Amino acid sequence: VNDLKVAIYGESHLTMKAGAVNHQKYVTYGDSVVEASAVSSNETKITAYGEGEYFFKVENDLKVTSFGESLIYYVGNPELSKRIMLGETIVKRKG
């Protein structure tokens, strides 16, 4: 897949078990969990409004915008770009 765009509203849990995508973009509103660390990506962009927990596998670029309390974990060695971050957001490399 070249481009993947996901918008999530309200309390939700999304699990992606395998695959590869060139560019992926997530916009979440509310209490969300996104488990996408089994999906390889070149570029990931996350914009989170509210509470959330996110897991990604990113090779080149990880762009984060957060309004609220988000925990963002990633695997890989991307260039990390923390854009607007209001609230208590943690961005942490795993593994």
Domain boundaries in the chain? 3-93
CATH entry 3.30.1320.10 includes domain 3-93: no
Q: Say which residue the tokens 């209490």 belong to.
A: 31
pLDDT-based confidence at 18, cuts 50/70/90? very high
The string of pLDDT tens digits covering residues 24-77 is 999 999 999 999 999 999 999 999 999 999 999 999 999 999 999 999 999 999
Band of pLDDT at residue 95, cut at 50, 70 and 90: confident
In 3D space, the residue among 46, 53, 44 whose CA is nearest the CA of residue 11 turns out to be 53
The per-residue b/e assignment along 39-68, b for 16 or more CB within 10 angstroms, e otherwise, is bbbbbbbbbbbbbbbbbbbbeeebbbbbeb
